[in-house]
Amino acid sequence: MRLLILILIPLLACGSPASAANAPASQADVPKGTVTQYTFEGSKIFPGTVRDYWVYVPKQYDPAKPACVWINQDGIQFNTPAVFDRLIAAKEMPITVGIFIMHGRVKAPSDQAIDRFNRSYEYDGLGDSYARFLLDELLPHVVKEQKLNLSTDGNDRGIGGSSSGAICAFNAAWERPDAFRRVFSSIGTYVGLRGANNFPTLIRKYEPKPLRVFLQDGSNDLNIYGGDWWMANQEMERALTFAGYEVNHVWGTGGHSGQHATEIFPDAMRWLWKDWPAPIKAGKGSPQLQEILVPGESWQLVGEGYKGTEGPAVNAKGEVFFDDVPDSKTYKIGLDGKISLFVSDSKKGDGQAFGPDGRLYTVAGGAEQIIAYTPDAQPTVIAEGFRGNDIVVRHDGGIYVTHPGWTGTEPSKVWYISPKGEKKVVDTGLKFSNGITLSPDQSLLYVDDTKSHWVYSYQIQPDGSLADKQRYFHLHVPDSADDSGADGMRCDRDGRLYVSTRLGIQVCDQAGRVNCIIPTPKTGLANLCFGGENFDTVFATCGDKIYKRKLNVKGALPFEAPIKPAPPRL
């Protein structure tokens, strides 16, 4: 054996006295499951592909009870059926159906051409395509065709693989922890082939997910054009540990092969399934996340059934107002959580913000106006002549509005409307100017560009004009998109910037760096604001729903007097 370096916690010993007592007397006494091979084609997620898959059903499987599920990429590896036979018989893992899937290929049109091999395409990248393939296509097909009763609880399901299959397994669990929570990774390809080298950074910044991960690699693994496998796997382990994940590992001296993984696979399975069915819990996350998040507090649904929520804004009481843009209505969320209609025809109201006069300023896209509503919903047109998007109102009554350039042919602009009602363009040149807010001291204006990964910073001049424009905040972009999708923004009183993006809420420090990423329960995050009686609850508009979550921080209110936060650590 090549295990000159072995880091393994005591739980990974070859079985406690109790488990040994439950084990069969000999290998011949172990009930053996069945393995059958099938073919799957007709995928819409990976069109044109055909692939083989194998199904292992343990002898102890009872169709009346949902079985746990294990999925492995690249077919059957690690002598898994025999290992499962022994561990299930010894009651060291639950009754588990194994599904072993080969990567897809698109058959060549003739013998004069070669197949298109989908392994790297399906396995090496980030994004949710492979997870959707498993959950929406392959698993339903297996259940239907093989008439199996499989658990749909992520706590009852694990996934693993080797090399590219390992990053594929981790990525599927990362994207869908509701569906897979136990991960075995052998000689994982967490390198720069299709963006997997970003995982250690994302793990450190994201709010932790309820995953248990076992990593294996050897010091003589690959070191080629895409990266250094040995260093990348260690970086993954350190990132997972930093973020508070339940992670274990075995390091050896081997190369890019399955020998070492096959040797330690039984112990890895014992560890991954230890204490089942107790649920796997998420860790606390980075110190930066712990400064923001309240332990035990999660997202709560405030309202649903809308066509497209946008423009959350808070008044001095902490009441939150939001628009249902397609339905042209504005609603109020009271401090008691009850939702009531505020404006019955908002003229396609979009972005909103309260001013120092207590009025709600709305970008009425349908009328190409800026309208201010009194507390009893009486409207006054403040400006008109352009179709804006988002808005912020300063403590002195000055207003900034983004004008994205909706058609693609007109330029994107930022407008300034003075307290006297005079309007002027103060910036052009962004691809799609969208979210807008002020720094807590109101010396800086922040504008994000939806079609890039930048939030721009400007210094505000005494006459409302802007200077010293910089691409300042650097946002993360999901692998499935070409831009961050940045939208609504707010600051807290400590100077952090909260940006609505495709990945969730990206929280930046004042120096322009993303410190944290807080996903929302639903995709389609469009905007956010701080609200509630103490302004310590973030409200997020997500398509047909709106959510809230209590935090450890309080929002800065641009309509109030400026406050000076502490300087950032540089």
For the segment(s) 10-275, the CATH number from 3.40.50.1820, 3.40.50.150, 1.10.940.10, 3.40.50.300 is 3.40.50.1820
Q: Read off the pLDDT of each residue in 191-210 and give the average, rounded to a whole number.
A: 98
Domain ranges in the chain? Answer: 10-275, 288-550
**Strands (E) located in 431-482:** 433-438, 444-449, 454-460, 466-474
Q: How far apart are CA 421 and CA 427, in angstroms?
A: 18
Helix 80-89 × helix 259-272 angle, to 10°: 30
Q: Read off the pLDDT of each residue in 284-309 and give the average, rounded to a whole number.
A: 97
Mean pLDDT for all residues in the chain: 94
Identify the pLDDT of residue 2.
38
pLDDT digits (tens, 9 = 90+) for 326-337: 999 999 999 999
Q: Read off the pLDDT of each residue in 235-264 and give the average, rounded to a whole number.
A: 98
Q: How far apart are CA 570 and CA 568, in angstroms?
A: 6
Q: Which band of pLDDT confidence, cut at 50, 70 and 90, is reported for residue 27? A: low
The secondary structure of residue 136, as a DSSP letter, is I
Identify the pLDDT of residue 26.
59
Identify the pLDDT of residue 86.
98
Identify the pLDDT of residue 490.
98
Q: Which residue has the tokens 């709305």?
A: 362
Q: Read off the pLDDT of each residue in 507-531 and give the average, rounded to a whole number.
A: 97
163: region left, alpha or beta (phi > 0 left; psi from -120 to 50 alpha)? left
Q: Which band of pLDDT confidence, cut at 50, 70 and 90, is reported for residue 569? A: confident
198: region left, alpha or beta (phi > 0 left; psi from -120 to 50 alpha)? alpha
Q: How far apart are CA 203 and CA 124, in angstroms?
A: 17
Identify the pLDDT of residue 23.
46
pLDDT digits (tens, 9 = 90+) for 380-425: 999 999 999 999 999 999 999 999 999 878 899 999 999 999 999 9
Cβ neighbours of residue 340 under 8 Å, at least 6 residues apart?
331, 332, 334
Smallest CA-to-CA distance from 383 within 359, 363, 402, 403 is with 363
Q: At 143, is the secondary structure helix, strand, or coil?
A: helix
pLDDT digits (tens, 9 = 90+) for 34-91: 999 999 999 999 999 999 999 999 999 999 999 999 999 999 999 999 999 999 999 9
Identify the pLDDT of residue 568.
86
Cα dihedral sign, 196-197-202-204: positive
Q: Read off the pLDDT of each residue in 160-177 and give the average, rounded to a whole number.
A: 98
Identify the pLDDT of residue 75.
97
Whole-structure pTM value: 0.93
Q: In this structure, what token pair is assigned to residue 456?
A: 């721009």
pLDDT digits (tens, 9 = 90+) for 425-482: 999 999 999 999 999 999 999 999 999 999 999 999 999 999 999 999 999 999 989 9
**Strands (E) located in 130-254:** 157-162, 182-186, 212-218, 223-224, 227-228, 246-252
Check whether 309 has a pLDDT greater than 80.
yes
Check whether 252 has a pLDDT greater than 70.
yes
pLDDT digits (tens, 9 = 90+) for 119-150: 999 999 999 999 999 999 999 999 999 999 99
Cβ neighbours of residue 319 under 8 Å, at least 6 residues apart?
332, 333, 334, 335, 531
Identify the pLDDT of residue 342.
98
Identify the pLDDT of residue 439.
98
Q: Do domains 10-275 and 288-550 have the same CATH topology?
A: no
Identify the pLDDT of residue 1.
36
Assigned architecture for domain 288-550: 6 Propeller (2.120)
Q: Which residue has the tokens 């902490």?
A: 318
Q: Is the peptide bond between 277 and the residue preceding it cis, with omega within 30 degrees of 0?
A: yes
Percent of the chain with pLDDT over 90: 93
